[in-house]
A and B are shown apart, each in its own frame.
Chain A
Amino acid sequence: MAEVGIDRRDDPTIPDAEDLYRRVVDERIVTEQATGCKRLSSQAFSDRRNEISVDLSSMISPEESLRLGLRCGGGPFRGIVAITAGQARDLDQAVLRDPIPDNPAHSLICGKKWLLAVSCG
């Protein structure tokens, strides 16, 4: 049986330059032991299902994306991080629309999770 998220088709109507928003909570901000610098944990862009939920920047503002996250019980959030659809595709990920009732901007980055997590971590 195929793994979930691996065989999803990329949506070419989403331009490479489109920012894909992802909400980040404090727990996903880590400190490098060697330097003391803050960085984003790879878990911010990781999902066991190989499908990562994001919001299309052309359809929603960062502020509204955060408000959506709070309304569904998440947070508090440190903020929004973004990668472009082109960056995701360069890592062999598919980017596709997945509108849901409360969030028509909802989309998915699909593919092997480590490829994306390693790059964004």
Chain B
Amino acid sequence: MMMVPNMSITASQPKPSPRGLADADVQFRHMEEPITDDAILSAKFLATKGNQAFQGSPGHLPWQRWAEGDSTSTMDVIPTTDLPTWLRACLPRLLRLCGLKPNWDSYGSPPPSLALVKGVISWLRLAEKETLPEPEVVPASAGGIQLEWYLGKRELEIEFTATGQIEYLRSDNERREEKEDVIKNLDDLRSLLGWLIG
């Protein structure tokens, strides 16, 4: 297995502030193929603001520490090997949530952390569901992340809270039934995702 080298990014312009990140024009570019064997990356980071441009190395996602003002630190890596297509497709939108500014909703919500994004990806990868539609990705209050599927007769919302709890609400529009509960383990998650496409 090829090891992923630690890489760093150095800003050539004055160090951007977190606010600067939020104001930046941020784009993700999908990589068609993984560059390394063991994984990595589906997103290449490019942010521009005015005449400044900051670009992350392929396979590395420089957001978090860059946003915190550390322009020279080693970047975090999110393994993406074996991610199902639907999860890979929504990865840029998941990552983009980390770039929200504090109080982005004006009601005191912080942006989701990169650690939470990693946690969401890990859970969904381990659920081993290959054929799901791509979910809507919504920032939740208090720094959480909510995934939403609206498939006509069945709807599902899964909220990953910043404190580590996972909750869901599922609706069967034909039977006019709704159920909410906490997801306690992978079996719960697999069962729920199976219900969605069942």
Interface string of B129-163 (1 = CB under 8 A from A): 00001101011111010101111100001010100
Which residue of chain A has the shortest Cβ distance to B136 in the bound complex? A30
Instruction: Tell me whether A114 and B133 are in contact (CB under 8 A).
Output: no
The contact of B146 among A25, A33, A41, by CB within 8 Å, is A41
- What is the number of contacts between chain A and chain B, taking CB atoms within 8 Å? 82
Interface bin, chain A: 20 to 34
Q: A31, A39, A49, A73: which contacts B106 (Cβ < 8 A)?
A: A73
A112 to B89: give the CA distance in the assembly, Å.
33
Alpha-carbon distance between A53 and B134 when the two chains are bound, in angstroms: 31
B105-149: which residues lie under 8 A (CB-CB) from chain A? 105-107, 133-134, 136, 138-142, 144, 146, 148-149
- Given the complex of chains A and B, what is the CA–CA distance between A32 and B140 in angstroms? 18
Q: Enumerate chain A residues within 8 angstroms of B85, measured Cβ to Cβ.
A: none
Interface check B47, CB cutoff 8 A: no
Complex contacts, B68 vs chain A, CB 8 Å: none
The 7 closest A-B pairs by CB, nearest first: A74-B106, A69-B106, A34-B152, A32-B150, A30-B136, A48-B142, A41-B138
